[in-house]
Amino acid sequence: MSDFLELAAKRYSCRNFSDKPVERDKLEKCLEAARLAPSGCNAQPWKFVMVVDPKTLEEVAKTTQQLGLNEHTSKAKAILVILEDHAKLMPKVAPLLDSQVFAKGDLGGAALSFCLEAESLGLGTCMLGLFDRPKLSELLDLPLDQRYFLLVAVGYPAKERDEARSKPRKPFNEIARFV
């Protein structure tokens, strides 16, 4: 696929994964896309943990399952954990700004690059903001005060996206204008 807009429109939150295993080199390519994302002062305030070990994967999936939501994560073949790292800003701007002022935006860009690369490789992804942070820290041997951003469930889609289910988005005129 060569057209970026087509790729952006095609990506969707996949909540129905097949049993097909995901190749490690594809996961590495998705991580590489995330690594190449831009960041404020090029601080790259991220760390990525790719969970693929079946037992750990099952446990990590469970941390996302609350309030009857996110049952689909049990069928993911990998779950990416995106950690927010300390951002070292350029010495000139550091005294003016909080170190983490750009971090969430940086991490969002990296997460989307990851998902778009996955889409281009035929994989499905679902970003997950709902998860039990202390439990995840325990499972991954991370500090309790670890800053998390998002998890991303990955797998092959069980079926093609239902094209009839259009992407519900605010209309162009409501969100953008030229001046």
Ligand X SMILES: Cc1cc2nc3c(=O)[nH]c(=O)nc-3n(C[C@H](O)[C@H](O)[C@H](O)COP(=O)(O)O)c2cc1C
User: C-alpha dihedral over 128, 129, 132, 136, to 10 degrees?
Assistant: 60
Residue 127 CB, nearest approach to ligand X (Å): 4
Q: Residues in the chain, how many? A: 179
113 counts as binding ligand X under rule CB under 6 A: no
Stretch that binds ligand X, among 42-50, 75-83, 120-128, 140-148 (CB under 6 A): 120-128
Radius of gyration of the chain (CA): 17
Residues contacting residue 179 through CB under 8 Å, at least 6 positions apart: none
120 counts as binding ligand X under rule CB under 6 A: no
Which residues ranging from 47 to 76 are in contact with ligand X (CB under 6 A)?
A: 70
Stretch that binds ligand X, among 28-36, 94-102, 123-131, 170-178 (CB under 6 A): 123-131
Identify the residue among 126, 136, 152, 154 touching ligand X (CB under 6 A): 126
Determine the Cα–Cα distance for residues 144 and 84; give it in Å rounded to an integer: 13
* Nearest to ligand X of 43, 79 (CB atom): 79
Could you tell me the strand order of the sheet in which 78-84 lies? Answer: 46-51, 78-84, 148-155, 124-128
Stretch that binds ligand X, among 9-17, 27-35, 84-92, 97-105 (CB under 6 A): 9-17
